[in-house]
Amino acid sequence: MRPANEALLVVDIQNDFCPGGALAVPEGDTIITRVNALMEEFPHRVLTQDWHPADHSSFASNHAGAAPFSVADMAYGAQVLWPDHCVQGTAGADFHPALDVAKADFVVRKGANPAVDSYSAFFENDHETETELDAWLRGRGIDHVTIAGLAFDFCVQWSALDAVRLGYAVTVLEGACRAIDLHGSAEDARTAMLDANVVLEP
Ligand code: VGL
Ligand code: ZN
């Protein structure tokens, strides 16, 4: 068992991010066996769940004429416009059935504000509105976060960079993540995380 100051953060292992889902990450489901085993190793385990209303502004369908995977200029910066995914209460938003959800101590839902996307488990994409996660971790004396899940180049990366900014030691288990890889975004994410002193482990 890892020491009491360490938490495992499992990002967005939901049906829509797995093969057959609305925003499928290639091989997204292949990490689940390892993630379930990791949950046995950590004293604290947090799951994140992408949780959007149907009118969410990150959906291309809510921008007239916009194609999925195009980029829009939002008040808070550039935003990729995604296919509709993880709509609250739909099967696509459920955790993948193979994920051992019962082992989780806390679930963070993110992306419920229709006006702002939220890749990170800690903040919405405007970097202003905070989730409950930092307070939950601090309240338990946790100062080291290990991250696994989907997608490496979006929600995993943004969560890792925010965790560093908040003062956590951060490890990302690359082999327990899979990437969307839009125009080289997986390699860009590796570089950005290494520059920020995130430890990348296999
Ligand atoms: C994610 C795109 C849109 C992710 C969530 O979990 O990485 N990516 N929403
Ligand atoms: Zn999303």
Quote the pLDDT of residue 191: 98
pLDDT at 8: 99
- The confidence score (pLDDT) of residue 185 equals 98
> Residue 81's CB: how many other CB atoms inside 10 A?
20
The conformation of residue 64, written as its DSSP 8-state character, comes to T
- For the residues 125-151, what does the mean pLDDT come to? 97
ipTM score assigned to the predicted complex: 0.99
Q: Give the global pTM.
A: 0.98
Mutate to test the pocket of ligand 1, among 10, 16, 17, 110 (most ligand atoms within 8 A of CB): 17
Quick one: CATH architecture of 6-53+85-201?
Answer: 3-Layer(aba) Sandwich (3.40)
Mean pLDDT of the residues in the chain: 98
pLDDT at 37: 98
Q: What is the mean pLDDT of residues 107-133?
A: 96
Q: Which ligand neighbours the alpha carbon of 114 most closely?
A: 2
Give, using CA atoms, the residue closest to atom 8 of ligand 1: 154
* Spatial contact of 86 and 14, defined as CB atoms under 8 Å apart: yes
Angle at 53 between CA 48 and CA 57, to 5 degrees: 100
From 95, 61, 57, select the one nearest 77 (Cα to Cα).
57
Which ligand number lies closest to the CA of residue 14? 1
What pLDDT does 15 receive? 99
Classify residue 8 as exposed, middle or buried by CB count within 10 Å of its CB (0-12, 13-18, 19+).
Answer: buried
Atom of ligand 1 nearest to the CA of 17: 6
Which of 1-5, 55-59, 68-72, 126-130 is least confident? 126-130
What are the pocket residues of ligand 1 if the criterion is a CB atom closer than 6 Å to any ligand atom?
12, 17, 50, 82, 119, 150-151, 154-155
- pLDDT of 88 reads 98
Q: Could you list the active site residues?
A: 12, 110, 155
- Summarised one tens digit per residue, pLDDT across range 165-195 is 999 999 999 999 999 999 999 999 999 999 9
pLDDT value at residue 133: 98
pLDDT average, residue stretch 60-67:
97
Taking the C-alpha atoms of residue 30 and residue 35, their distance in angstroms, rounded to an integer, is: 10
Mean pLDDT of 77-101: 98
- pLDDT of 152 reads 98
What pLDDT, on the 0 to 100 scale, is given for residue 136? Answer: 98
Q: Tell me the domain boundaries of the chain.
A: 6-53+85-201
Residue nearest to atom 1 of ligand 1 (CA): 155
